[in-house]
Amino acid sequence: MRVGKIITAACTMLLAGLMLFGCGGEEQKSAETKKADTTPIQVGGLVDMSGPTSSVGVPYAQGLKAGVQYVNANGGIDGRMIEFNLQDTAYNVQQGLSLYKKMVNAGAVCIQGYGSAVTEALVRNLAKDKVPDLSASYSAHLTDPKTAPYNFFVAADYSTQARAAIKYFKDNWTEARAPKIAFIYPDHPYGLAPIKGAKAYAEELGFEIVGDANVSLKAIDATTELLPLKDLAPDFCWIGGTTPSTSVILKSAKNIGMETTFFTNIWGSDENLPKLAGEDANGAFSNQAAAVYGQDVPGMKAIMELTNNEPQMTHFTRGFVSVLVMTEGLKRAAAKGGITGESLKDALETLRDFDPMGLAPAISYFPDDHRPNMAVFLYTIKDGKLTFVKEQILERRADWLGH
């Protein structure tokens, strides 16, 4: 009975709390801030820090925080500081949606987003509220302003990344026969996103597409899926997974003696891959959109100072770059008259070859094309380390927009 009373008391407190919470009345509604205002600029952060993709979400979020710290330490936006409200979405759409509403009500002029599920669920809300979202969900369909006018990101989309790697391999192909390519990906929206575009481009360049394999993001072995591919003897294999699933694929491939050049997309390789796959990771290529820790680029000094020379993952750098790009947009918006979500969007669309201190390929957005660039950093794993190979740049083809 005592427990019953405790439950009754808890329910009453919940109800009372809700009523008090509700009595707060109308919250600050406008996302606008006045010119020459010295109040902080509100920016929301919606990152999965405890859900299924938190292993990369956490370093990404730390990169965002470091970026804000860096900008504020260097005078903010004309003396106005960025107030960053970072929250955990746990990769849950409902949670993301309600946190987003709260942030917009509190006056956020921009969101630093992360996961596909939440980013995509917010597309219509962002357009309605006129709040830009710089997220880490790089699906190509988010680059078309006709369907996602307030969505931006700082890395080439998944399809462009795959195309860039395919172009690199074709340019370096020396044999007389057509190169053979296969695709390994999870049966998941993220895994499927670039496949159609990548295959079409591979065919266009004269590759022979020999097969596909589905390997789950949660796979602990991929031998069954890879054996049929081994018989088809592809020269190149695209892996569209995450670091753990990539390591499983690389290890299984080694076990069955599969001879091929693997290349992975942006979430498929990072500093953890050599730790997970050991020597089996050597020789694999990966697409990256940001420099690795310690790389000789101008912006790395700032990151190393902020992190006390404590090595960080490449996802950290990408989060940092996302804040630099947002800051440039905010500065341009402020110079034009005032910071609102709408003016930030307009300002971002004026970026032309903006250099985020060498930490990522130069970024441009256009009013009718939100692809940040057509460039990808290609790395290969040598002796357990991500080693820079080339910045592969593609032409900005109109027919690739959104695909």
Binding residues for other proteins, per CB under 8 A?
3-4, 7-8, 11, 14, 17-18, 21-22, 24-27, 29, 48-51, 61, 85-90, 92-95, 97-99, 101-102, 105, 116-117, 120-125, 128, 139, 141, 147, 187-193
- In angstroms, the CA 8 to CA 128 distance is 41
Residue at token pair 């992975």: 264
CB of 121 to other proteins, least distance (A): 5
Complete DSSP assignment for 16-47: HHHHHHHTT-SPP------TT--SPEEEEEEE
Q: Identify which of residues 46 and 363 has a Cβ nearer to other proteins in the complex.
A: 46
CB of 50 to other proteins, least distance (A): 4
CB of 37 to other proteins, least distance (A): 22
CB of 128 to other proteins, least distance (A): 7
CB of 147 to other proteins, least distance (A): 6
Q: Identify which of residues 107 and 372 has a Cβ nearer to other proteins in the complex.
A: 107
Q: Identify which of residues 159 and 373 has a Cβ nearer to other proteins in the complex.
A: 159
User: Would you mind telling me the total number of residues written for the chain in this entry?
Assistant: 403
Q: Identify which of residues 189 and 228 has a Cβ nearer to other proteins in the complex.
A: 189
- In angstroms, the CA 386 to CA 95 distance is 35
Q: Cα angle at 115 between 113 and 119, to 5 degrees?
A: 60
CB of 313 to other proteins, least distance (A): 17
Q: Identify which of residues 149 and 358 has a Cβ nearer to other proteins in the complex.
A: 149
CB of 368 to other proteins, least distance (A): 18
State whether residue 339 is helix, strand or coil: coil
Helix or strand run (H / E) with residue 377: strand 375-382
Q: Which residues contact 4 (CB under 8 A, 6 or more apart)?
A: none
Q: Identify which of residues 187 and 279 has a Cβ nearer to other proteins in the complex.
A: 187
- In angstroms, the CA 22 to CA 164 distance is 52
Q: Which residue, 56, 386, 58, is CA-closest to 242? A: 56
Q: Identify which of residues 54 and 380 has a Cβ nearer to other proteins in the complex.
A: 54
Complete DSSP assignment for 159-192: HHHHHHHHHHHHHT--SSSPPEEEEEE-SSHHHH
